[in-house]
Structure formats: structure tokens, C-alpha cells
Structure 1
Amino acid sequence: MTLEVRDLSVVYPPRGGVGPARAVDGVDLRIGDGEIVALIGESGCGKSTLARTLVGLVKPSRGQVLYQGTPLDYSAKALKAYRRHTQLVLQDPGGALNPKQNVFDAVAEGPRLHGLKDDLKETVHDALTRAGLRPPEDFYHRYPHELSGGQQQRVVIAGALALNPSLIVADEPVASLDASVRGEILKLLLRLRDDLGLSALVVSHDLGLAWNIADRVAVMYLGRIVEQGTVEEVLLNPRHPYTKALLSVVPSGAEDWRPTLLSGEPPDPTAIPAGCRFHPRCGRWAGASAADRERAACDRRELPVLAADVSGAACHLLDLDPPATDVSNAWENA
């Protein structure tokens, strides 16, 4: 197992009279060797905070991050050693690259910081080649403004690869790219997994990305994983009402297809409701009978944290839900 988090929580202190904010509020998650896990959720659910916690940029308020079974040490020396194995790829490649650095120096920065100066030219050459920038020599002296968005993202990925990590945490890696370029970057991540055995956590709000690239999917809402499993389990047979609402926007081809519109306010980590944190926006709960509401007690009964090795959903209403609609035709055409 490459990376694991146990009962992870990140709480930001009160600010401006508001808070505290429970950005991550009890998460168990595992990423296996050579596995790609997609972390899906809308803005404000805590997925970017979780991503930054995995690479040691944010120290958890509770719980542990374990790499190869060893808890993460937050001393400067230990974090520097850890980041040789775990690299973060950010959403905006233009913002991630220093406009005053050429491509060679941008890719070489990580090895230089870690004292890996021997064969630096070969390291940069190999990293750019793996990232699909060929021939590498043509890019050495270019600056970010001379590159396309897709080329910039490849340079960012090459900078991560220069340290030969075992895990990449990619936070919305294709969100700022044109549709024609997104597929190229996703193919690159798959090729890196196949050729190098690289593991990856890919953070996204795009379910199509999960279908095309991931082995497993974890759906996050208001600081918690509310459903997880293989791609087929989650995307073809969703069980949680939130996952179903996310999937409902994908056209199914059926004549009666209608997307589910979530009511209420978007997730607010400073005001987590009692009971199931999704129940104020849950259409299934809103339409339930008085007897079902009393039996499910979604508005007052806390849900347990989903264990990392369990495929399923954290929902009081599972026993009340009708069988899920099969959306396989929609994904086959995605």
C-alpha cells in the first residue's frame, strides 16, 4: 500500500468571526501501488485540503497520514525526504511555473533542492521525455509564456517526475485546459502508471475524468467520503443520493432523463448540520414519508466514517431506496 490516511481531520481556526471550519472531518482513504483513485466532489467539500494534507503541506488536526505503513513525520527534514516520494501537481500550470525560469530550470528545481545535482541534464531530459515533450532539447530554453496550456502542464508533471516519486497527487490537473488537451494529459497519467508503476490521487469535480482514468472512486461531501468503490460500482450503480445527483447531469439517452437539481446552500464547513451532513439538500429525505423519516433519522443520527477498505455508501436511506438506475450507456458514450 503506497499511501493511507486514518481518521484524518483538518480544522481551520475561526476567522473574521466565522468558524472554526472543519474542512476535512474524518476521512479514511487508501491508494495502492500503481493505483489511480479519483476524489470527486463539488467546490468547498474539502478535497483540495485533503490533497494538500497528503503531501504534507497541511498538518492534520487529528488522524494520520501513512506512507508505506509509516506515519508521516512533520519535521522539516522528514517532510523533505517524504516529498521525494510524493509530488503535488496543481490545477493552474501557468501559476505553478515561475515566469522567470526556463523549462530546464523549472524541471531541475526539485532535484537541485534535494541535492541531486549529478547527471542533472540527463534527469531533466528523461523527465521531459516521460512527460511527452519531445525532443526535450527543443524546450530547455523556453519560458512559460512561450508554451501552450497543455505544454505547461506537461512541464509541471515533468518537474514532479524528476524526483522519481511513487505517488502523484493531482489537484484538478485538466480543469484549466481545453477539451482537446485534457485527453492527452489523462493518457499521459495512464501511461505513467503503466510504465512506471506510479500511483495517483486525482482530485476533480469531473465524473467523466473518473470514468476514463480511475481504478477506484471516492465521493466527498462536506469533509467526508460519502461513497467509494471501484469505478464500475460507484458510477454504474451509485447508492448515495449525493452521488446520484452528481451522476444525474450525465445524459442517459432516456426520453425521461432529467438532471437532479440540489436545493439548499453549497457545503459550508463552518456550519455542518446534525445527523447526515447531506440531509438538508437530499431530495430522497425531502420526499420521504413521516414513517421513513422517523426510521432513518437522517436529521439527528450521526453516520460512521467509511472504512478505507470498504466499498459502499454512508447513508441512512439505503434500505429505503429503490434499485439504482443503470447509467452504463451514458458512460460508454462519454
Structure 2
Amino acid sequence: MSSEPTPSASALEVRDLSVVYPASRGRAPARAVDGVNLRIGKGEIVALIGESGCGKSTLARALVGLVRPTSGEVLYEDTALDYSAKGLKRYRRHTQLVLQDPGGALNPKQNVYDAVALGPRLHGLTEGLPLTVHEALSRAGLRPPEDYFDRYPHEMSGGQQQRVVIAGVLALNPSVIVADEPVASLDASVRGEILKLILGLRDELGLSALVVSHDLGLAWNIADRVAVMYLGRVVEQGTVEEVLLRPQHPYTRALLSVVPTGAEDWRPTLLTGEPPDPTAIPGGCRFHPRCPRWAGAPPAVRASGACDRRELPVLAPDTSAAACHLLDSTTLENV
């Protein structure tokens, strides 16, 4: 499957991005991110989905300048990221990270006002600061804002804490947010409220966002496009409808299969083999040791070495596609 959508103006993009952690304690170098192309259009929400350990969080941190890539580049509005102290400070006015654990992100000794004011103070934006904090809290859904100024993290629920974290981001008036598992630590009843908040901010402020998650339901509810990551590389991407309703890659299908459908014949696809190890990426398709499609392939197909010996091309950022050697094999339609 491959199509060429008309891209919107780019807010944030990575080109051929790799992050390799050096060898340590007898372990080989780890290719946490390995040749990723990804683009987030202006006003667009992209969901980055995959198992734990696939490189999602490393990519998210590279996008906000917390991890410097080994190769490739990060571009904000088509300009490459400057990794000097001054360049990073300027960049972080525009691109902000939302962490998954609000309790860990907030200083327990700092009240809400000072937590939200921290970013503007670091950037020297102190003129009209009380109004900035007031407006940021209001946009984050903490109303009336002044009722929260003197509260401390332990005096608030997890959902309120996450709203404070988001208010701290909004206080800098960014154009892009990178949210790493933003609702993973919250109760199910609160998750929908935070997702609705992120959607509302996109509609109200024109924010662009990358939302990192292992939750496919989150992607369905919030994203315009989805990128599926496995062992450091994007293996499928497209619109929400394309990826979640008509998945092409066997890894995406396996992830979707564990979501209960209510059908009597529902059965999840259990992946075999070892979980991803970025220090030992297999040859050929990196998913083939766990791939149910490859495991069930006819002997002639397996003998061809299509999957275990032939490398797959890296997906371009503006295509709807899946990286799989066996996509068009008519002999594998029911595998």
C-alpha cells in the first residue's frame, strides 16, 4: 500500500534520524532510533505507536533537543535545529515536551503559580507574568485559575497535576507539543478529559502535536495520522483510517488484534520470539523473527530469503505505506 497525500505546511520534521547509544558493560551499541523520517504538519496531531523499547521515547526526546541525534536532522518550520545553548533555548520556546508522569514532572515544594511561571522566567518573559499564568491555567481547564495558584502537587488529583504540566507548556505559547504517554499514569475516567483538552488546544490555538503511546485507542481518538514504530524504525504510517482500519504491516495487525472486538471468534495474535533488542537488530526485515506472516509463509517463499536477508527501504515522511516484503504476495493473503 502506498499513496501520496498532499502535505500541509511542516511544523516539525525529522529526516533520516538515528540515535545510537555507545557500547557499555559488554553490550553492543544500541540503535534506539534508526533512520526515521517523520513529519508533523501545522495544526496536525500525529500518534507514534509501538511496544515498550521500540525507540518512541528516544525519538520524542530527540524532537525537543534533549537527545542529540547520531545522524540525520530535526527541522522546525524547515530550519535545522541549532544545538548551541542559545539555539536550543530559542527552539524550546516553540517546541515543548509533556511527560507521562505529572507527579514526577512537578516540584513537590513548588506551588502551581511558580510551576507554571517557571518557563517564562527561564526565558526572561516576566512582563505581565500573572496574566500569562492565569491564561495558561484557564486554557488547561483549571478554572477559576486563581483558586489553584497556591496549591501544591500533593493537594491535587493526577488529572489536575497533568493540567498544571500542560499549563506550564502553554505559558510559553509554543506551536508544537511532544507528549510522551500523556495519559498513561491517569485513571481511565480522566484520560478522556486530557485527550479532549489536547484536541481543544489544537482547535483553539492551532497547536501541532506528536503524541507517543502504546495505546491504539488513544491514536483513534486524537490523531490525524499514525506512525507505527518497531525496533527503531517506522514500519507503517498513514491516516488513522488507513492504519487502524486497514492495517497492512503484520506488526500493526498484531498490535490491533489484542484490542477486544466483542466478536465470538476474536483471538489476539501472539507474537513469538524475543522482544526488540536495539543492540542486536536482525538482518533483513527486523520484524521477521516474530512475524506471523513470515512464519506461515510457504516453503518456497521462506527459501527465497525475502524477509530474513533483504533490507527494507526507509519510509518517506509523506507517504501512506507499510515496510513489508510480503505485502503484495497473493500466496499470503490469509496468513
TM-score bin, normalised by smaller chain: over 0.9
Superposition deviation, residue 121 in structure 1: 0.1
* TM-score for both structures, normalised by structure 2: 0.95
Gaps of at least 5 residues in structure 1 are 326-334
Q: 1:251: how far off?
A: 2.0
2:181 counterpart of 1:172: yes
Worse-matched range after superposition: 67-76 or 282-291: 282-291
1:39 is matched with: 48
1:247 maps onto 2:233 in alignment: no
1:144 corresponding residue in structure 2: 153
Deviation at 1:222, TM superposition (A): 0.1
CA distance in 2, matches of 1:216, 1:103: 34
- Give the match for residue 293 of structure 1: 302
Secondary structure of residue in 2 paired with 1:44: coil
1:238 aligned onto 2:251: no
State the partner residue of 1:118.
Answer: 127
Q: Name the SS for the 1:2 alignment partner.
A: strand
Shift in Å, 1:106: 0.2
Percent identity, aligned pairs only? 82
Q: Which residue of 1 aligns with 2:225?
A: 216
- How many pairs were matched up? 325
Alignment of 1:187 with 2:186, yes or no, is no
Alignment partners' CA distance in 2, 1:137 and 1:198: 25
Give, in angstroms, the shift of residue 293 of structure 1.
1.7
Question: Once the 2 structures are TM-superposed, how far is the Cα of residue 255 of structure 1 from its aligned partner?
Answer: 2.3
AA aligned to 2:187 is D
Distance in structure 1 (CA, Å) of the matches to 2:111 and 2:309:
56
Shift of 1:253: 3.1
**1:324–1:286: structure 2 CA closer, same or farther, 3 Å change rule?**
closer
Equivalent of residue 20 in structure 1, options 26, 29, 33: 29
More moved, 314-323 vs 144-153: 314-323
Q: Which residue of 2 aligns with 1:307?
A: 316
Q: Secondary structure at the match of 2:34?
A: strand
**1:29 equivalenced with 2:27 (yes/no):** no
CA distance in 2, matches of 1:15, 1:122: 49
**Aligned to 2:133, what secondary structure does the other structure show?**
helix
Residues 237, 324 of structure 1: 8 Å contact kept = no
> Secondary structure of 2:116's match?
helix
Match of 1:163 among 148, 151, 172: 172
Amino acid of the structure 2 residue aligned with 1:217: V
User: Runs of at least 4 residues of structure 1 off by over 6 A?
Assistant: none
Deviation at 1:294, TM superposition (A): 3.3
Match among 99, 105, 130 for residue 90 of structure 1 = 99
Q: Is this contact kept in 2: 1:150–1:177, CA < 8 A?
A: yes
Letter in structure 2 aligned against 1:237:
R
- How much is the aligned-residue C-alpha RMSD, in angstroms? 1.2
Q: Which amino acid aligns with 1:308?
A: P
Deviates more, 1:225-234 or 1:312-321: 312-321
Give the match for residue 202 of structure 1. 211
Paired AA for residue 260 in structure 1:
T
Residue 167 of structure 1 and its aligned partner are, at CA, apart by: 0.3
Partner of 1:5 in structure 2?
14
SS at match of 2:209: strand
